[in-house]
Amino acid sequence: MKTILNEQQLAIIIRRLSHQVLENNINLDNTVFIGIQPRGIFVSDQMIQVIRQLASPEKVQYGRLDITFYRDDVRNNIHVPNQTDIPFSVENKNVVLIDDVLYTGRTIRAALDALLDFGRPAKVELCVLIDRRFSRELPIQPDYTGRSIDSIVSQKVKVFWKERDGKEEVVLL
Amino acid sequence: MQLSVKHLLGIRDLTRQDIQIILDTATQFKEVLQRPVKKVPSLRDVTIVNLFFENSTRTRISFELAEKRLSADSINFTASASSVSKGETLLDTVNNILSMKVDMVVMRHSASGAPHFLAKHIPAAIVNAGDGINEHPTQGLLDAFSMREKLGRLEGLKVAIIGDIMHSRVAMSNIYLLKKMGAEVTVAGPPTLIPKYIQEAFDIRVEYNLKKALQWCDVANVLRIQLERQNQVLFSSLREYSLAYGINKQLLDSLDKKIVIMHPGPINRGVELDSDAADSNQSIILQQVENGVAVRMAVLYLLSGGRELS
């Protein structure tokens, strides 16, 4: 087991990602943030906190998307869904999708399909905490990356969160 | 997490956790039904046949809609317009349909146990859409979903099931489900329509006085008098039944609390439920119908998976 990010590094990266996203989306009127269930929302919840401090909080539109019904492996294993809560229209908006680990790209593929059922966004960007590069199975790349790591298939990246696991760090198993 | 069953034959076979998973999944499907595109691709490789050997409006449309919202291909079958009227057996009919590569069967049949029989003989997943006087599991689930949605819980809830308990598969599924989820149940109706064994068999209360039952409950699930299943005279007339067991607004207003009125449909207006009660703001009858689609989507979704791809 190797620690990739400790608690302090994690907090700094979350701040950096928030600044980067905001830098490219100065006018929040046309931007919405969507965290991907179940684990992406831990990243997005924290980023939204930072963004609300940096910009006018009432302008920040934030939702959560569950992609269970759009998975391509539904025949192998049935997954019980999580909550989807998108209390705004995504029509013509810049959507920033936020997830914790980008690996094969299949989750993001499903998220894009799910997102289109809510409307036609002007643009979709992807923000991930960890990018397991060179292991993609679909042509999907992040716009904002917390940390890129090289890993092999048999390895696992695990992200721990205070709210759920009592500690905050990213490890490679 | 997975369901402990391969088929939905009755609530009797489900565990408390199964029920919880189905209701929670249905909550998410209800959200899907509010989206601009009310459809998900989950079951696009699944073919479902709706076998209705008995008449139905709500259940059939609800299942069909649920299948379409899940992107499944569905085929409809009505017994009266089929070779069943030429003497084909149930098993032959179903096997012939399955040989055309159908993955799931939704079946309503007038014989109790018909879906259980099928489950023993065919490989497809079976969803019971009502079998005789045995069970109507998806109705039980959608009733529970509607109660939970309206009142926030099932545990400790007081539910009165009123009317023709003897011939009601809805009553059976409701009783099984509510007892498993920790609700209190009273059945109320004329003695001739309440089976004698029911009190000990299910550990529920029996009440012959309608007003007392209503006064006790949080929710009244009012059942239809099933004249088509009664082959003997069990009460003297519909008018007499309605005088003793019909629910109207005046009766509801005379209680010292506002109870929730449910009905699985179709309503015999003026018999078990008067229009002023059925259409009042205490009634959630139309919400039940709306929730039916989400609940059936959850059932079909959860039963469709885990198959090996050949």
User: What DSSP string describes A52-117?
Assistant: HHHS-GGG-EEEEE--GGG-TTTTT--------B--S--TTPEEEEEEEEESSSHHHHHHHHHHHT
Indicate the annotated binding residues of B for L-aspartate: 86, 169, 224
For residue A139, the enclosing domain spans 2-172
* Residue B138 near residue B295, CB atoms below 8 Å: yes
Taken as a whole, chain A contains a residue count of: 173
Segment A4-37, tens digit of pLDDT:
999 999 999 999 999 999 999 988 889 999 999 9
Structural domain boundaries in chain B: 11-135+290-304, 137-285
Query: How many angstroms separate the CA atoms of B171 and B165, rounded?
Result: 6
Buried b (16+ CB within 10 A) or exposed e, B88-115: eebeebbeebbeeebbbbbbbbeeeebb
Indicate if the alpha-carbon torsion angle A116, A137, B306, B308 is positive or negative.
positive
Indicate the annotated binding residues of B: 58-59, 86, 108, 136, 139, 169, 224, 265-266
| pLDDT for the residue B308 | 43
Is residue A144 scored above 70 in pLDDT?
yes
Mutation to test the A interface, candidates B25, B27, B30, most A Cβ within 10 Å: B25
The answer to whether residue B300 neighbours chain A at the CB level (below 8 Å) is no
Segments of chain B with pLDDT less than 50: 307-310
Is residue A121 scored above 50 in pLDDT?
yes
Query: How many angstroms separate the CA atoms of B159 and B216, rounded?
Result: 9
Domain B137-285 in the same topology as domain B11-135+290-304:
yes
Indicate the annotated binding residues of B for carbamoyl phosphate: 58-59, 108, 136, 139, 265-266
Q: How many CA atoms lie within 13 A of B70 on its CB side?
A: 34
Angle at which helices B16-32 and B285-304 pack, to 10 degrees? 110
Token representation of residue B52: 């209705």
Query: How many angstroms separate the CA atoms of A86 and B271, rounded?
Result: 44
> How far is C-alpha B232 from the geometric centre of its chain's CA atoms?
25
Domain B11-135+290-304 has CATH 3.40.50.1370: yes
Angle at which helices B137-151 and B285-304 pack, to 10 degrees? 120
Gap from A159 CA to chain B (nearest CA, Å): 22
The answer to whether A119 contacts B21, with C-beta atoms less than 8 Å apart, is no
Gap from A66 CA to chain B (nearest CA, Å): 9
Query: How many angstroms separate the CA atoms of A36 and A97, rounded?
Result: 7
Token representation of residue A94: 């810049």
Segment A36-88, tens digit of pLDDT:
998 899 999 999 999 999 988 888 999 999 999 998 887 777 788 999 999 99
Provide the 3-class DSSP secondary structure of residue A38: coil
Residue among B24, B305, B309 whose CB faces A78 most closely = B305
The answer to whether B24 contacts A80, with C-beta atoms less than 8 Å apart, is yes
Provide the 3-class DSSP secondary structure of residue A41: helix
Q: Tally C-beta pairs within 8 A across A and B.
A: 59
Is residue A160 scored above 60 in pLDDT?
yes
* Residue A52 near residue A43, CB atoms below 8 Å: no
Gap from A111 CA to chain B (nearest CA, Å): 12
**What's the pTM?**
0.91
The answer to whether residue A87 neighbours chain B at the CB level (below 8 Å) is no
Sorted by sequence, the CB contacts under 8 Å of residue A51 that are 6+ apart come out as: A18, A21, A22, A33, A60
| pLDDT for the residue B310 | 39
Residue among B21, B39, B45 whose CB faces A75 most closely = B45
Could you say which residues from 4 to 63 on chain A have a Cβ atom under 8 Å away from some Cβ of chain B? none
| pLDDT for the residue B306 | 53
| pLDDT for the residue B235 | 83
DSSP A139: S
| pLDDT for the residue B309 | 40
Element (H, E) at A4: strand A2-5
DSSP A5: E
Query: How many angstroms separate the CA atoms of A82 and A53, rounded?
Result: 28
CATH no., domain B137-285: 3.40.50.1370
DSSP assignment string, chain B: ---S-SSB--GGG--HHHHHHHHHHHHHHHHHTTSSS----TTTT-EEEEEESS--SHHHHHHHHHHHHTT-EEEEEEGGGSGGGGT--HHHHHHHHHTTT--EEEEEESSTTHHHHHHHH-SSEEEEEEETTTB-HHHHHHHHHHHHHHHS--TT-EEEEES--TT-HHHHHHHHHHHHTT-EEEEES-GGGS-TTHHHHHT-EEES-HHHHHHH-SEEEEPPP-GGG--S--SS-HHHHHHHH-B-HHHHHTSSS--EEE--S---BTTTB-HHHHTSTTB-HHHHHHHHHHHHHHHHHHHH-SPPP-
Contacts of A70 in chain B (CB under 8 A): 40-42
Question: Whose CA is closest to A128, among A156, A105, A160, A155?
Answer: A105
Question: Whose CA is closest to B305, among B11, B101, B142, B72?
Answer: B72
Contacts of A78 in chain B (CB under 8 A): 2, 301-302, 304-306
Which CATH number covers residue A31? 3.40.50.2020
Provide the domain count of chain A.
Answer: 1
A163: left (phi over 0), alpha (psi -120 to 50) or beta: alpha
Contacts of A117 in chain B (CB under 8 A): 35-37, 39-40
Could you say which residues from 40 to 79 on chain B have a Cβ atom under 8 Å away from some Cβ of chain A? 40-43, 45
The answer to whether residue B100 neighbours chain A at the CB level (below 8 Å) is no
The answer to whether A117 contacts B45, with C-beta atoms less than 8 Å apart, is no
Phi, psi dihedrals of residue B112, rounded to the nearest 5°: -65, 135
**Mean pLDDT, range A121-142, rounded to an integer:** 94
Which of the two residues, B227 and A109, has the higher pLDDT score? A109
